[in-house]
Amino acid sequence: MTSSTRSTPSRATSSWFATASQKVRAGDGHPRAGSLVPWGTVHARRLGSARTACGVACFTWPIFFDLDVRHERALEVCDDCRRVALHDRPAVEW
């Protein structure tokens, strides 16, 4: 890939993604109405991993790519997972 075709993100992103054991369809009045959203405690997980940042097995759990566990305040996020994700340093692409 040449440097002219590589997309450069405008800000650093985390290598951790939001995951939860269950998902539900958001109801009317919810900012994400009609979308599938996590239900219960939200954890942080890396793609391809079978465990969350806090060590819980999550192989079959859905991943919510549009949620940032580092800064999401509207959901119940696992404290240990948030702590790990906040201190994670994303890899630098050269």
Instruction: Give the C-alpha separation, 43 to 54, whole Å.
Output: 8
The chain-wide mean pLDDT, for the chain, equals 80
On the 0-12 / 13-18 / 19+ scale of CB atoms within 10 A, 52 is buried
Which tops the pLDDT comparison, 66 or 21?
21
Instruction: Give the C-alpha separation, 78 to 27, whole Å.
Output: 23
**pLDDT per position as a tens digit, 10-53:** 344 678 999 999 999 988 877 778 888 899 999 999 999 999 99
Which letter, b or e, does each residue of 68-87 get, where b requires 16 or more Cβ atoms within 10 Å of its Cβ?
bbbeeeebebbeebbebbee
pLDDT at position 28 is 83
Domain boundaries defined on the chain: 14-88
**pTM for this model (two decimals):** 0.75
By C-alpha distance, which of 93, 89, 85 is closest to 42? 85
